[in-house]
Amino acid sequence: MATPEEKEELRALLKSKSVRTGDFTLASGKKSDLYVDCRVTTLDARGAVLVGKVLHQLLKSEVMKRGLEIAALGGLTLGADPISLAVAIASSLAGDATPIQAFVVRKEPKGHGRGKRIEGNFATGDTVVVVDDVITTGDSTLKAIEAIEAEGGKVAFALILVDRQEGGRENIESKGYPVVAAFTRAELVG
């Protein structure tokens, strides 16, 4: 379980490595005064450990609160990949009776072999958690959900590292998927 000190350490690491203020154009084309590049934190050795512990704790709490059984977690490559693996490793290290597994959702189906869109530990009928590093509009999280459901998965909720508080949570929740975020813009800026 992550301690309050570890969550604070992760917040400080995100602030120092991942959060930038200024004038930016986002992937959506939208202008913003905030840029959050979580990959420099999630791919940092200490950052990965902290992300795994903090999000594993958040995942377990949410699963328990909702009375769910979750087979795996994953999301759209590339932002979700290190987070999903870090949480799976934290689950195993914590001694979970059934450690959570990880999977990756490709942006497009593979052009060869079995043409899979989802790689890793995912099976039709699984109840899963969709992961994203940052949500702005929520569109990439919803693309991952669409791919998971197209492959027969059931999405219980979205587990997010950073909610930019720019409508993404509301967009995802309006489609019926609860959102649980470790940090919000308000916690990282200022």
Taking the domains of the chain in order of start, what are their residue ranges? 52-188
Amino acid code (one letter) for 35:
Y
Arithmetic mean of pLDDT, 18-27: 90
- One-letter amino acid at 126 equals D
Instruction: Compute the distance between CA of residue 82 and CA of residue 8 in angstroms, rounded to an integer.
Output: 20
- β-pairing, 31-36 with 19-25? antiparallel
Query: Could you identify the residue written with the tokens 């999630």?
Result: 42
What pLDDT, in 10s, does the model give residues 78-136? 999 999 999 999 999 999 999 999 999 999 876 666 668 999 999 999 999 999 999 99
The Cα 153–Cα 163 span in angstroms is 24
CATH topology of domain 52-188: Rossmann fold (3.40.50)
Rg (alpha carbons) of the chain, rounded to whole number: 16
Residue type, 160: I
Whether the predicted pLDDT of 1 surpasses 90: no
Determine the distance from the C-alpha atom of residue 186 to the mean position of all C-alpha atoms in its chain, rounded to a whole number: 18
d(CA 134, CA 153): 22
pLDDT, tens only, 25-46: 887 788 889 999 999 999 999 9
| SS3 label, residue 106 | coil
Burial zone of 163 (CB within 10 Å; 0-12 exposed, 13-18 middle, 19+ buried): buried
31 to each of 26, 27, 28, 122, 186, how far by Cα in Å? 6, 9, 9, 36, 18
| pLDDT, average across residues 22-26 | 89
Which structure tokens are listed for 153? 């998965």
C-alpha 24/C-alpha 13 separation (Å) is 21
pLDDT above 90: residue 7: yes
| Nearest Cα residue to 187 out of 80, 34, 78 | 34
Q: Where are the beta strands (DSSP E) in 37-117?
A: 72-76, 101-105
- For residue range 126-166, list pLDDT tens digits in order: 999 999 999 999 999 999 999 999 999 999 999 999 999 99
Please answer whether residues 160 and 183 qualify as being in contact, where contact means their C-beta atoms are separated by less than 8 angstroms.
Answer: no
pTM over 0.85? The answer is: yes
Of 100, 97, 181, 178, residue with least CA distance to 145? 178
pLDDT score recorded for residue 108: 86
